[in-house]
Amino acid sequence: MAETRKAEEIFKEFKEHSISEFFKKNRQMLGYSGKIRSLVTVVHEYVTNGLDACEEAGILPDIGVEVKEVAEEKYKITITDNGPGIPSKFVGKALATILAGTKFHRYVQQRGQQGIGAAGCTLFSQMTTGQPIAVRSCTGTGKAFSCKIAIDTMNNKPVVTEMEDLPDKFRGLSVEGIFADVKYENSDHGVYEYLRRTALSNPHAQIKFIDPEGKESLFVRAVDKVPERPKPTKPHPLGLFINDLLEFAHSSESRKISSFLADTFARVTPNKVDELKPFAKTVDFEKSPKQLTWEDAESLIKAFKEVKWIAPDATTITAIGEEQIKVALKNILNPEFMNVVERKPKVFRGGIPFIVEAAVAFGGTSGRETSEGYAGNVLRFANRVPLLFDSGTCAITIAAKNVDWKRYSIDIDTQPVSIFVNVSSVHIPYSGVGKEAIAQEDEIIEEIKLAVMEAARGVQHYISGKHKAAEEATRYKTIMRYAKQLAQDVAYMTGSDQKKIEDKIEKLVLKHYPKVKENESADEGEKAEEAIAEEAEEE
């Protein structure tokens, strides 16, 4: 029997630790596991912040990314944007305090939502090379400055050093860090692919990338319009938990519960409050919201479910938009054929609105090349941010897998097909802190599946046409192989002209396989494709 220890002895070691200490020990939870993934995570965090900042300031984003190998598995990563910059007063906390930022407490759709990403990069640089992050920032009109930023992990506080004024004003932010235990690779899960996908979902952004070999790639801006800034929104009553309602009530300035409800939540009018009353008879609507009890809140949440509501306001969500996706897909994948679907807003967990956009693209650089030809791939996005990792647990992957692709004449395993899905919401339920996958909420999976099926339906005619054409071409070739011999034999037997007989046979065969000819002309123009596209749209 093992020696026993008393609780008193065990609890001598009881301690609290900071969130920075926690993530230092569990960096894989922030996306820092694996050398290639770790490098992409750094780029991902900074690019995401740059795009958010530009959009919030109403600026067309110009993003620069440079990855330079400074030693073995040690890279300098520099990201610049032309956004609003960060005032010097906030720059330390913004880049070196985990769980601090402008985004967390707002109820508005954004790429970032946690205030973890950039501070995580600072932590990772510090852990692997001991270097602080070098920052240059100017708000355009304010002071231009540079500084170095590290993180005091025991207290989760920034350590700002070498703060210096810069002579010339500019607008934007530049961050530069040295990271080790990372590796650049030009693969499906690498930085180039990440930026390519970012360009795909952000056609209004211009992205310049310089890779470790000095090769420059430019993802050109395809749309000259900043996306509408999503409006901050009030929470919808159906999306509330009891404790949310209580917290809103206790911090409310409204005089009565009735006015509190109408002031605080979307779709609540004074009339609606009257409608609620019979379903929450125990609640005194005249008392101060500060006096709302748990029982009151419970009754109200129940009452919310008894009345009819207008759906949450979808104008608070900005999807990419059908036209913009088309432009982007053409720009980046140049597919032979595609179909883009933007679905109507839906809600999950009762009242959190979201919008799914889906596209299926065929040909061009769709799908991915394999040793045996091509295979389909799923391009996952959340609020326009590409998700490259953890695909196995992501709602998008699961929804796409659940589609019966055969019904749409699509063979995911062998065809050059890309399935594009973007989920937009004020609150994306990511499965992990690293934000690489969307949690498996049933309502979201179902809606993605419907969107993908709708998109697939639009390409079905084209692909099954392609398929038939390919089949006919094979048969035609097989038969024509015998035609020459047949013509020769017939000519010999009948004494007619062999060439004439050959032509006649070819015409006969072509009558049976009309697609062979169509296809040839389609290669010249795009008539056949368009015809099929129209047909598909009529469906």
Binding residues among 36-75 for a copy of itself as defined by CB under 8 A: 53, 55-59
* Cα 159 to chain centroid, rounded: 32
Min dist. Cβ of residue 313 to a copy of itself (A): 19
With 0-12 / 13-18 / 19 or more C-beta atoms within 10 angstroms meaning exposed / middle / buried, residue 472 is buried
Of 52 and 211, nearer to a copy of itself (C-beta) is 52
Q: Which helix (H) or strand (E) holds 373?
A: strand 373-375
Of 78 and 393, nearer to a copy of itself (C-beta) is 393
The residue within the footprint of a copy of itself, chosen from 430, 462, 476, 513 (CB under 8 A), is 430
Location of structure tokens 């063979």: 411
Min dist. Cβ of residue 93 to a copy of itself (A): 7
The residue within the footprint of a copy of itself, chosen from 294, 369, 474, 481 (CB under 8 A), is 294
CA proximity to 42, closest of 9, 71, 68: 68
Instruction: Dump the DSSP string for 444-502.
Output: HHHHHHHHHHHHHHHHHHHHHHHHHHHHHHHHHHHHHHHHHHHHHHHHHHH---HHHHH
- Of residues 389 through 418, those in contact with a copy of itself by CB under 8 A are 390-393
- Counted residue by residue, the chain has a size of 539
The residue within the footprint of a copy of itself, chosen from 61, 64, 84, 335 (CB under 8 A), is 84
With 0-12 / 13-18 / 19 or more C-beta atoms within 10 angstroms meaning exposed / middle / buried, residue 90 is middle
CA–CA distance, 227 with 357 (Å, rounded to integer) = 16
The reply on whether position 115 binds a copy of itself by CB under 8 A is yes
The reply on whether position 13 binds a copy of itself by CB under 8 A is yes
436, 389 Cβ separation under 8 angstroms: yes
Site string for a copy of itself, 246-265 (x = CB under 8 A): x-------------------
Structure tokens at 59: 């600026």
- Of residues 139 through 158, those in contact with a copy of itself by CB under 8 A are 139-142
- Of residues 163 through 202, those in contact with a copy of itself by CB under 8 A are 181
Letter for the amino acid at 531? A
Min dist. Cβ of residue 460 to a copy of itself (A): 28
Of 333 and 438, nearer to a copy of itself (C-beta) is 438
The reply on whether position 90 binds a copy of itself by CB under 8 A is yes
With 0-12 / 13-18 / 19 or more C-beta atoms within 10 angstroms meaning exposed / middle / buried, residue 45 is buried
Of 25 and 499, nearer to a copy of itself (C-beta) is 25
Min dist. Cβ of residue 476 to a copy of itself (A): 39
The residue within the footprint of a copy of itself, chosen from 92, 118, 130, 484 (CB under 8 A), is 130
Site string for a copy of itself, 436-455 (x = CB under 8 A): -x-xxxx-------------
The reply on whether position 298 binds a copy of itself by CB under 8 A is yes
Location of structure tokens 């950039």: 118
Of 193 and 296, nearer to a copy of itself (C-beta) is 296
- Of residues 464 through 523, those in contact with a copy of itself by CB under 8 A are none
The reply on whether position 126 binds a copy of itself by CB under 8 A is yes
Structure tokens at 158: 């920034």
The reply on whether position 101 binds a copy of itself by CB under 8 A is yes
- Of residues 214 through 233, those in contact with a copy of itself by CB under 8 A are 225-229
Provide the 10 A C-beta neighbour count for residue 19.
14
Give the CB-side neighbour count of residue 133, counting CA atoms within 13 A.
32
Of 390 and 502, nearer to a copy of itself (C-beta) is 390
DSSP state for residue 103 in the 8-state scheme: S
Phi, psi dihedrals of residue 324, rounded to the nearest 5°: -65, -40
Binding residues for a copy of itself, rule CB under 8 A, total 87
CA–CA distance, 284 with 22 (Å, rounded to integer) = 45
CA dist 311 to 279, 306, 446, Å? 20, 15, 18
Phi, psi dihedrals of residue 159, rounded to the nearest 5°: -125, 105
The residue within the footprint of a copy of itself, chosen from 159, 433, 450, 486 (CB under 8 A), is 433
Q: Quick one: which segment of 61-69, 82-90, 411-419, 490-498 binds a copy of itself (CB under 8 A)?
A: 82-90
Min dist. Cβ of residue 129 to a copy of itself (A): 7
Q: Is the dihedral of CA 315, 418, 395, 102 positive or negative?
A: negative
Looking at the DSSP assignment, which residues form a beta bridge with residue 359? 340, 420
The reply on whether position 78 binds a copy of itself by CB under 8 A is no
The reply on whether position 243 binds a copy of itself by CB under 8 A is yes
Instruction: Dump the DSSP string for 177-204.
Output: EEEES-----STTSHHHHHHHHHHH-TT
Of 115 and 416, nearer to a copy of itself (C-beta) is 115
Min dist. Cβ of residue 15 to a copy of itself (A): 6
The reply on whether position 128 binds a copy of itself by CB under 8 A is yes
